Amino acid sequence: MPETTASPDSCRIDVWLWRARFAKTRGLAADLVEKGAIRLTHQGRQTRLDKPSRSVHVGDELVFALAGRVTAVRVAALGDRRGPPAEARALYFDLDASQT
């Protein structure tokens, strides 16, 4: 049963956060989005995401607070599944690490 996606080049934000292992479950990822804790920069425009069904694309930047720490990442890939941690890390570039 395939995940709900808007198109082959996009993915639901809750699914992506779960696949990239920023959330333990899709439900927790959806809660994070619904709280307004995720800021998305897509094609130079920044918006605060409000619904878990919003799409994320390769090249988008996300900023969110997780475990008391602000995390900034750029989406590198959408992924096909929730894989092992090494596979999950390949889905994004850590923007904080690249600035140090």
d(CA 38, CA 89): 19
1 occurs within a structural domain: no
Which domain range does residue 88 map to? 10-98
Task: Kindly state whether residue 5 falls inside one of the protein's structural domains.
Answer: no
- Read off the CATH number of the domain in which 42 is found: 3.10.290.10
pLDDT of 97 strictly over 80: no
Total tally of structural domains belonging to the chain: 1
Q: How far apart are CA 30 and CA 93, in angstroms?
A: 22
Q: pLDDT tens-digit profile of 53-86? A: 999 999 999 999 888 899 999 999 999 999 999 9
Residue 16 has pLDDT above 50, yes or no: yes
Given pLDDT bands bounded at 50, 70 and 90, which one contains residue 94? very high
Report whether pLDDT(6) > 60: no
Q: DSSP H helical segments within 1-100, as ranges? A: 13-19, 26-34, 85-89, 95-98
Q: How far apart are CA 47 and CA 39, in angstroms?
A: 6
